[in-house]
């Protein structure tokens, strides 16, 4: 079960900013349940909407009756005309789904709930069986060209025209950043659900946590500072402070996917991990910094994907934390802020999981693009650094590397004193290939330049030999 919501879906008799109005008795309701959707980006209308919940009950009621029937609290309805009619709905969000099996749905619901708590979303209705007529603002009578001309002659101004919706059936409700009726944002409420004693208490905790996260404070910028660590440190989730930090790879840890060479984590060419630190994060002090993500849900993106496609693939997973990546003497270290709304059971799961970096080929070489907290499952996929298909090559060069190269809490890291930097090996091999090609080119040019001389010398030698033979024959 997910977090409950209750809200006004659309007022009746009020005008929208773009000149529409629902006439009394114009709106009917389709049978519940109805989809409760959210438009992620402003592409026009409700294009691209995704489901984030379900409307389980809906009614056309006055504000007074909506309060009495529990569609809106008296606090949220304060200042409204008690006699005003509106379409009301209540239901639940999909934040109760399993984040492991449906990570995209869980993330969509959580993000929508965060925006609801911030007061930046409001619902709008989706209608079919739609009919409407143009009317003058404030009138219910259809307007004609004669009416418009008469108004212009009388006032010298063109009249304001509205579309009066005379018939329409509500088939769904959609959350948008700029709802048609501004009045729908304020009554939108999220409420935690009380569970019975035999129920799953985790759902109450999840709902309460997500409601709290909707209005949670922004993280301190200091959480993203590079930590001073004495040695290789596994990812540490500090639930009391909300900070996460630790190494995702160490310079002395060998990738166990290679049996005959010690492959270590690639270093970032520029040292700023720009391909990873690509997400803007607002901080408590009002500033914005750039960070990467620790995501949860499933396995790594396909190894044949390029960097751009790989980053898009991880967009569908749940974000457990935003962190900045750095380098220190021990390896690649991250630090940042845990996402609000993580429940006790999810905390326990994250504490048990290992993290795994994902590097992809970019113009600067192999670059870190994501960090994944590995999901439970077969040991080969749930434990980092074990023999699994972890590299992908194209035309003889490495273009992807995934796996946990980082330290593991219960296993000592495998170290080799004289380790090999695979990226440096590739550079050296390419340089050797270029030098060989250049040498072959110079040799070919030399042969071409000497060819006429050799021919000329050969001709002279043949003439001299012939002369010598001729003299001997006389």
How far apart CA 34 and CA 45 sit, in angstroms, is 18
Share of the chain above pLDDT 70, in %: 74
In DSSP notation, 146-191 reads HHHHHHHHHHSSPPPEEEEEEEEEEEEEEEESS-SSGGGTTT-EEE
**Residues 374-383: tens digit of each pLDDT:** 765 444 444 4
The percent helix, strand, coil of the chain (3-state, each to 5) is 25, 35, 40
**Residues 95-112: tens digit of each pLDDT:** 888 777 788 888 888 888
**How far apart, in Å, do the first and last CA atoms of the chain sit?**
119
How far apart CA 400 and CA 362 sit, in angstroms, is 10
Tell me the domain boundaries of the chain. 4-214, 221-420, 431-474
Mean pLDDT of the chain: 77
Q: Which residue has tokens 């109760």?
A: 96
Q: What's the average model confidence in pLDDT over 242-252?
A: 87
**Residues 333-390: tens digit of each pLDDT:** 999 999 887 777 778 778 877 888 888 888 888 899 999 887 654 444 444 432 223 3
Give bridge partners of residue 419 from the DSSP assignment.
none
How far apart CA 106 and CA 91 sit, in angstroms, is 16
- Between 433 and 34, the higher pLDDT residue: 34
Q: What's the average model confidence in pLDDT over 100-129?
A: 84
Q: Which residue has tokens 């935690």?
A: 192
pLDDT band at residue 472 under the 50/70/90 scheme: very low
Question: Does residue 33 carry a pLDDT above 90?
Answer: yes
Helix residue ranges per DSSP H, 2-157 = 63-68, 103-117, 145-155
Q: Which of 6-20, 178-192, 269-283, 289-303 has the lowest mean pLDDT?
A: 178-192
CA neighbours within 13 Å on the CB side: how many for 237? 21
How far apart CA 63 and CA 226 sit, in angstroms, is 53
At residue 429's C-alpha, the angle toward residues 427 and 433, to 5°, is 115
CB neighbours of residue 305 within 10 Å: 18
How far apart CA 103 and CA 54 sit, in angstroms, is 18
Q: What's the average model confidence in pLDDT over 142-170?
A: 87
Please state the length of the chain: 474
Residue 130: in which H helix or E strand, if any? strand 122-136
**Tokens describing residue 292:** 């990467």
């Amino acid at each position: 079960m997910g977090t409950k919501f209750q809200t006004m879906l659309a007022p009746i008799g009020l005008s929208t900013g773009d000149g529409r109005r629902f006439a009394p008795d114009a709106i009917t309701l389709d049978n519940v349940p109805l989809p409760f959707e959210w438009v992620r980006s402003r592409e026009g209308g409700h294009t691209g909407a995704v489901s984030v919940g379900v409307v389980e009950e809906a009614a056309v009621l006055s504000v007074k009756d909506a309060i009495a029937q529990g569609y809106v609290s008296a606090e949220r309805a304060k200042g409204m005309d008690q006699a005003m009619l509106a379409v009301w709905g209540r239901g639940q969000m999909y934040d109760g789904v399993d984040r492991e099996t449906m990570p995209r749905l869980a993330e969509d619901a959580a993000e929508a709930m965060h925006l609801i708590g911030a007061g930046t979303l409001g619902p709008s209705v989706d209608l079919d069986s739609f009919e409407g007529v143009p009317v003058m603002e404030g009138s219910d009578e259809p307007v004609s060209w004669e009416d418009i001309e008469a108004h212009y002659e009388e006032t010298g101004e063109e009249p304001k025209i509205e579309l009066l919706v005379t018939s329409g059936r509500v088939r769904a409700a959609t959350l948008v950043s700029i709802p048609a009726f501004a009045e729908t944002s304020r009554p939108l409420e999220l409420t935690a659900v009380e569970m019975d004693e035999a129920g799953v208490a985790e759902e109450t905790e999840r709902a309460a946590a997500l409601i709290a996260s909707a209005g949670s404070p922004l993280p301190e910028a200091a959480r993203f500072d590079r930590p001073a660590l004495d040695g290789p440190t596994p990812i540490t989730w500090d639930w009391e402070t909300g900070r996460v930090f630790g190494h995702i790879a160490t310079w002395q840890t060998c990738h166990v996917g290679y049996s005959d060479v010690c492959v270590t984590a690639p270093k970032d060419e520029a040292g700023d991990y720009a391909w990873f630190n690509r997400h803007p994060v607002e901080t408590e002090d009002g500033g914005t910094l750039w960070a990467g993500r620790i995501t949860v849900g499933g396995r790594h993106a396909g190894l044949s994907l390029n960097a751009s496609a790989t980053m898009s693939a991880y967009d569908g997973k749940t974000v457990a934390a935003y962190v900045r990546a750095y380098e220190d003497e021990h390896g690649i270290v991250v630090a940042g802020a845990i996402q609000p709304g993580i429940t006790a059971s999810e905390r326990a799961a994250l504490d048990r999981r290992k993290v795994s970096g994902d590097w992809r080929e970019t113009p600067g070489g192999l670059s870190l693009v994501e960090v994944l907290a590995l999901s439970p499952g077969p040991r080969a996929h749930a434990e980092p650094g074990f023999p699994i298909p972890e590299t992908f090559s194209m035309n003889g060069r490495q273009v992807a590397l995934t796996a946990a190269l980082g330290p593991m809490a219960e296993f000592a890291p495998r170290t080799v004193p004289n380790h090999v930097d695979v990226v440096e090996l590739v550079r050296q091999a390419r340089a050797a290939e270029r030098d060989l090609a250049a040498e072959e080119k110079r040799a070919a040019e030399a042969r071409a330049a000497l060819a006429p001389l050799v021919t000329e010398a050969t001709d002279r030698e043949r003439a001299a030999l012939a002369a010598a033979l001729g003299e001997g024959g006389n």
